[in-house]
Chain A
Amino acid sequence: MRGRRILLVDDDVDFVDVVSHDIREGGHEVDIAYNGKDALNLARNQTYGLVLLDVMMPELDGYKVCEAIRRIERNRDVPVIMLTAVADHVTETRYSHRDMLESESDDYLAKPVSQEELLERIEHWFRLEEQSGA
């Protein structure tokens, strides 16, 4: 039975500060990692209900972290939502919205994200998980 712990991975301290605060206000528990390596360390020891993952980070980019998390057995099916500051029309890069939809992640959110939308999306995925009996 999956818990409702959320893993937030992003290198921007201010974003993490506000968003983790917002999530906690919403009644969920949050673990924080500022880079991919730390994220994987956490993912090895904890089964998460959801992962919020910044797409563009130095060193290990979001897609690779996503794939790596999926290779950890206990988090193989965790829903992963990518976070991006990149606008939709920048399609030549690897970080367009389309790229994200086609990756191994399940969803994406564009920064900045209001607390409402954030919590709504989290709840949505938790509901889905419940329904599928995971």
Chain B
Amino acid sequence: MTESIRILVVDDEPVVRAGCAQALESCAASVQTAGDGQRAIETMEQADVDVVLLDLMMPGMDGFEVLRWIREHRPATQVIVITGYATIDKAVAAIKKGAFDFIGKPVTPDYLRIVVNRAIEKRSLLDEASRLREEKVQDFHLLLEERSRLETVIKCMQGAVLVTDRQGVVVLQNPAAETLLSLPMLKPPGKPVEQILRNPEAVEMVRCAVNHLDTTSREFRPGALSDYFLKACTAPVSTLSGKLFGTVTVFEDITVQKRIEQMKSEFVAMVSHELRSPLASIDQMISSIQRGQDAERAERLLQRIRARVADLSSLISNLLDLSRLEAGTIVLAPRQLDCRQLVSGILSAVSQRAADAGISTVFTPGPYPVCVKADEAQLKVAISNVVDNAIKYSKSGDEIHIDVARRGRRAVIRVSDQGLGIDADHLPRIFDRFYRVSDERTKGVTGSGLGLSLVKSIVTAHGGTVSAESTVNKGTTIQIDLPPAEATEDRSPFPSPPPSAESAPQTAISADLGGCDDKVDGKGTPETEPEEEPTSSHEVSVTLPEGRTLLLRPLRSGDENQLRALYYRLSSRSLYLRFSTTVKRLNTAQLERLTRINAPDDLALAVISVPDPSDFLEPTQAATSTSSTSLEAPGVESDHRIIGVSRLYGIPGSALAEFSILVEDQWQGRGVGAVLLVQLMKISKALGFGRIWGIVHPDNHRMIRLTRALGGQIMGSPTDSQLEILLDCSRDHQHNCRPPG
């Protein structure tokens, strides 16, 4: 300790100073001296000292003044005052004023050392205390942080959290507690848990934790503690030494789980009943036969037994299929199939049964393939069930009609019977599990009750829909709708289009080519059979009225998800084409890239090129072009310069394509975009698109005027950053190349 102690001796007598200094040498690292108050203060101003020996009676600045200074500026410094004989009262006064101790003259070295050491000790203790205080503040901040983190966690928990102290007084509840338990906001000091939780069992859980350090778990039905079905768990919280600190209770909302459990047990009950009932009836019939019946009746009963056995068997199959489908253990192995073939196969299988019942089947497959991507076995089950139903509810002499065709993009299978029909009251429920109509007319018909619900599950798993129409005693039609087959996997991958070009989002669409192996050349005239699709070939050539040939190529594979998302958003009935007419500033290099028709990432198809641009544009100051690179494109004369290009990614004849119009820097604002737009509309019409929809910048007044001139609609408000325009390109637009004035 002596290593760092500094002492200052202040006395006007040099003898005293020297004497003390010598006596204290061994106690401290340094001993300084000062002959008067002024010099003492100066010394202390330079460097801190730990202990000061101070003579009270000094000429000049007196000791009390120095003492005062020290208390004010160096409060940690310990002062020992030196007094004369008859001045004890002064010493006492000094102590009252903050001195540590006093020592009387003459000063004995030993005694001096003792007193000084005590002062040193005090100084050390003060330092230590100060250090501890700082540490405590830091720890406190850490604790606050930790606590705040914890509080955040608790606040954000979905479960309700209730914390009590060791007396069972609720000290913390999170927002979820207020909701789940309908508790009012907690205000300090908190209430005992009995007043917060109104359920004695819940209170008991907390008391258990408090009194016995037990952790308990319980469920509470709706109404017991709150409107929700809750699971609660209470645990005691102890300190490290094992003493109880408080309790924590967490409440979870298990309403959904309970509902699921309930549904499951209802299902089990239904299945149990559905399996036992036919067995009971079979047993009943057997008993009847055994008791002795006339031959005719016995024979009839035996036939009914057989029928019920078959039904039970099919119920069990359907049940297994259904449960596997829902558990996800059936792995659907979809592949391209032609529905016509599938249905044809099913019909041959049932033909005998139908014929025996005097029912004829009429199958009309369309002339074009109806391709879907589906699991063959599952789809067979679905369609068979529908056909079986039709047969079951038909009578001798009735016909069952089965059509398989394409409607727009979807595959549609319709099975119509002329049988019993279904009452409007029952119709909405026929796809429900085990639902059967039971009345005089239908009493003879038995079945698994699961057939149609299995159909629904299978069709839904394939992304399709099933629906029914019916008229009592006239017949029923069941229709299965399936989404179209997706493109084949063996397309060459295409890199993405140049990113800088458009402002329109890159919803690049993969051309839905490929499918069922038919090759159809998509000649772009509106009279083309709308159900026909160009299939398999990756390229489609379209000849425009101008004689220019367009080459369309599908875009990158892997965009199916975006495509699907886009399809989902847009109705398949309305044909919307998305394109962007926002004209971007392009440099020549970008433009050049875009016009490269052979580039696999691109479907550039229209190039506007002029020998002398000013020829048909508004007479404006002809800008001198700084770019002298001549861009080449097929069909463009070499001395022409390309100043703009339009692009299309799309599917000829179908709903979606994306456009962009790009105009070279200098030619913006001159009507080039307008010319391209008109041309684009002609192209769209030629390709069989209906309407086109695009985005335009509100400042692009030219484009907006043109849109209106072409009979299009503008949507959006003036403050939007972009507007939408809608144009009907199926009409004939007589518009000359002069942009609107």
Contact = CB atoms under 8 A, between A and B. Distances in A.
Given A18-B284, A92-B265, A56 B273 contact: yes
Q: Interface size for chain A: under 10, 10 to 19, 20 to 34, or 35 or more residues? A: 20 to 34
B439 interface: yes
Nearest to A115: B291
B269 A112 contact: no
Contacts of B276: 85-87, 111
Interface string B274-298: 0011111111110110010000000
A99 to B, nearest CB: 11
Contact of A38 (B272, B273, B278, B440): B440
A19 interface: yes
A14 B281 contact: yes
A35 B441 CA distance: 12
B269 A93 contact: yes
B273 A85 contact: yes
Interface string A73-109: 0000000000001110010111100000000000000
19 contacts: A14-B281, A14-B301, A15-B281, A15-B284, A17-B285, A17-B304, A18-B281, A18-B284, A18-B301, A56-B277, A58-B435, A85-B273, A85-B279, A86-B276, A87-B272, A92-B265, A93-B269, A113-B284, A114-B287
Given A86-B276, A111-B277, A111-B280, A34 B439 contact: yes
Contacts of A13: 443-444, 446
A127 interface: no
A111 B272 contact: no
Interface string A1-41: 00000000001111111110110000000000011001000
B523 interface: no
Interface string B310-350: 00000000000000000000000000000000000000000
A113 B285 CA distance: 11
A42 interface: no
B438 interface: yes
Nearest to A19: B284
A68 B421 CA distance: 28
Contacts of A16: 443
B269 A38 contact: no
B436 A111 contact: no
A79 to B, nearest CB: 22
A57 interface: yes
A26 to B, nearest CB: 12
Contact of A112 (B283, B436, B443): B283
Contacts of A12: 277-278, 281, 446
9 cross-chain pairs, A with B, having the tightest CB-CB distances, nearest first: A93-B269, A11-B438, A111-B280, A112-B283, A85-B276, A14-B281, A112-B284, A13-B443, A15-B281
A58 B277 contact: no
B284 A95 contact: no
B670 interface: no
Contacts of B438: 11, 34-35, 57-58
B266 interface: yes
B287 A115 contact: yes
A17 B307 CA distance: 15
A76 B682 CA distance: 80
Contacts of B439: 34-35, 38
- Provide the main secondary structure of the chain B interface: helix
Contacts of B272: 86-87, 90, 93
Most buried by B among A15, A16, A87, A94: A15
Interface of B: 265-266, 269, 272-273, 276-285, 287-288, 291, 301, 304, 308, 434-440, 443-444, 446
Nearest to A21: B288
A34 B284 CA distance: 18
B436 A58 contact: yes
B210 to A, nearest CB: 36
Contact of A14 (B269, B273, B287, B304): B304
Contacts of B301: 14, 17-18
A21 to B, nearest CB: 7
Contacts of B278: 12
Contacts of A11: 436, 438, 443
B323 to A, nearest CB: 19
Given A57-B438, A111-B277, A115-B291, A18 B285 contact: yes
Most buried by A among B266, B282, B438: B438
Contacts of A15: 277, 280-281, 284
Nearest to B297: A21
A111 B284 contact: yes
A87 B277 CA distance: 11
A22 B297 CA distance: 13
A110 to B, nearest CB: 8
Nearest to A25: B291
Nearest to B269: A93
A112 B446 CA distance: 18
Contacts of B279: 85
Contacts of A86: 269, 272-273, 276
Nearest to B446: A13
Contacts of B308: 14
B280 A18 contact: no
A11 B278 CA distance: 11
B436 A92 contact: no
Contacts of A19: 284
A18 B288 contact: yes
B368 to A, nearest CB: 42
Contact of A34 (B273, B283, B440): B440
Given A58-B436, A87-B272, A90-B269, 17 more contacts: A14-B285, A15-B280, A15-B281, A21-B288, A22-B288, A56-B273, A56-B277, A85-B277, A85-B279, A92-B269, A93-B272, A95-B269, A95-B273, A111-B281, A112-B281, A112-B287, A115-B288
Contacts of A112: 280-281, 283-284, 287
Contacts of A92: 265, 269
A85 B274 CA distance: 9
A14 B440 contact: no
A14 B305 CA distance: 9
Interface string A104-131: 0000000111110000000000000000
A38 to B, nearest CB: 7
A133 B472 CA distance: 47
Contacts of A14: 281-282, 284-285, 301, 304, 308, 446
Contacts of B266: 93
Contacts of B435: 58
A85 B284 contact: no
Contacts of A35: 438-439
A112 B304 CA distance: 16
A47 to B, nearest CB: 22
Contacts of B436: 11, 58
Most buried by A among B281, B304, B435: B281
Contacts of A57: 438
Nearest to A94: B269
A54 B301 CA distance: 21
Nearest to A93: B269
Contacts of B444: 13
Contacts of B269: 86, 90, 92-95
A65 B316 CA distance: 30
B170 to A, nearest CB: 37
A115 B283 CA distance: 12
A115 B290 CA distance: 12
A19 B387 CA distance: 33
Contacts of A56: 273, 277
Contacts of B287: 18, 112, 114-115
A114 B284 CA distance: 7
A37 to B, nearest CB: 8
A93 B265 contact: yes
Contacts of A38: 439-440
